[in-house]
């Protein structure tokens, strides 16, 4: 009797042999086919490790667990996570008041605080006008030669014949520029000018962002203004639009000053 093999029979034998090889490779100590092992543990292992680890202290609800800790400088870092004392959005609301939208200055310069004038670049570069205004000190918040980037190229020698003292801050008007390292130096310059009976012109390209930020920092550092009070005081006399990065740096300065005062009082 002649046996006839159907093509499906050979296919079945092929797959059964393949399954046998696979089974043997899975049961032997050394697999026939070395497959690349994942560097990560199995999900079940991760799950067991995750549930067995002790809870990190960073996740403790500090609203109740740490209330018994006395408030002092030594355990200041153990207190509940502090809420910022201001936000850039809050300052933007002040800047947009009362119309509810941004505005540009209608004058090239304005006196925003007794003895402090905010102005644009053309005003700062007209020495004859500065003499008539009685300006004794000029703070250029945009010093530099990059005119396309909004910088104004003045230096101490520019005002020598006018007898005007000068301070330059090489700032750019963008949100990533770190203006806060210049806060203290600018505040000291303005403060000394006013104490000597002088008048200070603080300017940048338009007199609305970099220069306004430095004046607000001065009011906070030397006169104890909160950032909200400083922005309101300047905005009342001149339309200003500091960029969001500068507003954030003013908020950080405000938080630092107020928390430092609170800590000293508590100790």
* Residues with catalytic roles: 204
Integer Cα distance of 85 and 239 in angstroms: 24
The two tokens of residue 81 are: 């996570």
* Cα-to-chain-centroid distance, residue 265: 28
Question: Nearest CA to 164 among 113, 192, 199, 197?
Answer: 199
The neighbouring-strand residues paired with 202 are 118, 139
**Do the bridges between strand 109-113 and strand 116-119 make them parallel or antiparallel, or are there none, so unpaired?**
antiparallel
For residue 57, what are its two tokens? 């202290």
């Amino acid at each position: 009797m002649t046996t006839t093999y159907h093509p499906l029979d050979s296919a079945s034998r092929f797959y059964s042999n393949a399954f046998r090889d696979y089974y043997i490779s899975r049961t032997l100590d050394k697999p026939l086919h070395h497959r690349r092992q994942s560097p990560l543990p199995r999900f079940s292992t991760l799950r067991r490790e995750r549930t067995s680890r002790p809870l990190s202290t960073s996740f403790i609800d500090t609203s109740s667990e740490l209330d018994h800790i006395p408030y002092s400088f030594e355990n200041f870092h153990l207190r509940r996570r502090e809420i910022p004392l201001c936000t850039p959005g809050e300052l933007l609301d002040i800047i947009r008041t009362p119309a509810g939208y941004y505005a540009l200055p209608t004058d090239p310069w304005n006196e925003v605080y007794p003895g402090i004038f905010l102005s644009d670049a053309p005003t700062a570069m007209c020495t004859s006008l500065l003499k008539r205004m009685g300006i004794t000190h000029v703070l250029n918040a945009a010093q530099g030669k990059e005119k396309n980037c909004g910088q104004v190229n003045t230096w101490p020698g520019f005002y020598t014949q006018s007898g005007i003292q000068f301070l330059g801050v090489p700032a750019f008007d963008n949100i990533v520029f770190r203006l806060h390292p210049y806060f203290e130096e600018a505040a000291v310059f303005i403060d000394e000018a006013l104490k000597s009976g002088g008048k200070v012109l603080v300017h940048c390209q338009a007199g609305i962002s970099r220069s306004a930020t430095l004046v607000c920092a001065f009011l906070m550092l030397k006169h104890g203004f909160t950032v909200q009070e400083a922005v309101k005081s300047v905005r009342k006399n001149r339309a200003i639009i500091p960029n969001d990065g500068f507003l954030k740096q003013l908020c950080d300065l405000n938080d630092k000053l107020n928390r430092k005062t609170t800590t000293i009082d508590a100790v």
